[in-house]
Structure formats: C-alpha cells, structure tokens
C-alpha cells in the first residue's frame, strides 16, 4: 500500500505538471520592404494598420462598422504581441535587413541590422521596451566603428555608411527619441545638415528605421543635392 500511494502521488504530480505547461507559439512574422522591392508589405501600408500609442506600444488598429453609413472606421488599437517585424531595403537605396521582436506592443530581445547575407552591422538590446545596454555599429569587415551603452532609452547615437566607414548621422537620444541638435553627413564626409528635435517630434529610434516617424518619411532625400544623405541609404 505504501509503494502504491507513492506511485499514485508521482503520477498525479506528473499529470499536474503536464497540464500547467503552456504552449507558446513561435513569433508570427510581418515582412516589410521598400517600394523598390516587390516582396513584402510596403511600409506605408504597414503604417495604415499599426501605430504607436500613448504608452509607446506598437498597436494594431481595430476596425468597426458604422451602423448608419455601413462604412468601416479605425478605433483604438490592441498591442501587437509575439510578432517579428523585418524590414528589407533593396540595393537601390543600399541593401539592409532589419529585424525586431514585439511582445505586448514593446520591442524585446535584440535588434539587429544586416547589410549583407552574413554582415551584421548594427545591434542593440531592449529592456522593458527601452534601448538599454550596448549599442554597436560595425562595418562590412566586422570591425567596430562605434560602441556605447544606453540606459532606459538614453544615450548618444551614431550611425555610419557601412561600406566606406564614414559617419552618417549623430545626436542625442532621450527616452528613445531623437533630441537636440543632430548632424547628418554625406558620403564624402562633409556635413550635409543639422536638425534640431524636440520630444514632441516623436522620431523614435527603437524600431527598424523610420517606421513611425511622420516627420522623417522613409527613403526620401533630405536636400536637393545629389550626394545628400537619404533616409534609408546605407
């Protein structure tokens, strides 16, 4: 009887542990591309259905039907969860592949960008939705061009033209947004422009480049000069 009761207890514990194990499905992908690449959803189409909420979460717009006009309209969104967002920029504007994991509306784990099949040129980590920890930029030969640390979304940002090792942009980041005077350089190394930002401009650097930044649309020239820096140009 003693051994029988022990065996029954073990079986009960095994059964309970099996029931408490929750299946977590793999992250669902959202694949984006610029207008030059026919594979994937365009960034403009993506922004019609997703936006940044008041708590800095990525939200999916909810659709409801108007009972009078019978038309659909957008209401407040729900947090995007367990989803990977990848962004592919074609060679016409400089090949770049970016990827980020979204959980409960916030970026999690590690962001990375590749400028070639195996060339990781930029990485940084998230903590509670903020950029925190090391921020590293490399060239195509895997040499470090810039390395610094961010804390709770605050730090000093630099990015480069990865093929030619030249500085592309630099400036202060506050609460994950561009803040203060930012300098932008062309590929010859000359200063192209200086722009001053406030937090109300909401130019968020946490996500693949310029997803939700209305004042800095993706893949547009900053000036009329042919050698001017382009958002998305690498």
> How do residues 18-65 score in pLDDT, each as one tens digit?
545 555 666 678 887 765 555 667 777 787 788 888 788 888 888 766
Longest dimension (CA), the chain: 89
What's the pLDDT band for 190 if we cut at 50, 70, 90? Answer: very high
CB 165 within 8 A of CB 145: yes
pTM of the predicted protein model:
0.72
Q: Give phi and psi for 94, each to the nearest 5.
A: 95, 110
* pLDDT on residue 224: 45
Residues in the chain: 234
């Amino acid at each position: 009887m003693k051994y029988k009761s022990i065996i029954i207890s073990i079986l009960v514990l095994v059964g309970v542990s099996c029931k408490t194990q929750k299946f977590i499905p793999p992250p669902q992908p959202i694949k984006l591309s610029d207008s030059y690449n026919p594979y994937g959803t365009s960034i403009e189409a993506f922004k019609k259905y997703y936006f940044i909420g008041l708590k800095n979460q990525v939200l999916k717009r909810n659709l409801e039907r108007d009972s009078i006009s019978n038309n659909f309209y957008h209401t407040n969104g729900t947090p995007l969860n367990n989803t990977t967002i990848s962004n592919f920029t074609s060679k016409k504007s400089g090949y770049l592949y970016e990827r980020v994991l979204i959980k409960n509306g916030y970026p999690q784990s590690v962001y990375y960008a590749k400028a070639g099949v195996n060339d990781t040129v930029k990485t940084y980590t998230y903590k509670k939705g903020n950029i925190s920890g090391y921020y590293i930029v490399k060239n195509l030969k895997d040499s470090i061009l810039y390395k610094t640390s961010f804390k709770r979304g605050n730090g000093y940002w630099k990015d480069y033209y990865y093929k030619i090792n030249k500085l592309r942009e630099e400036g202060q980041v506050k609460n994950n947004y561009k803040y203060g005077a930012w300098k932008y350089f062309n590929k010859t190394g000359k200063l192209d422009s200086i722009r001053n930002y406030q937090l109300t401009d909401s130019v968020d650097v946490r996500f693949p480049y310029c997803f939700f930044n209305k004042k800095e649309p993706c893949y547009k020239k900053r000036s009329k000069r042919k050698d001017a820096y382009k958002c998305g140009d690498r």
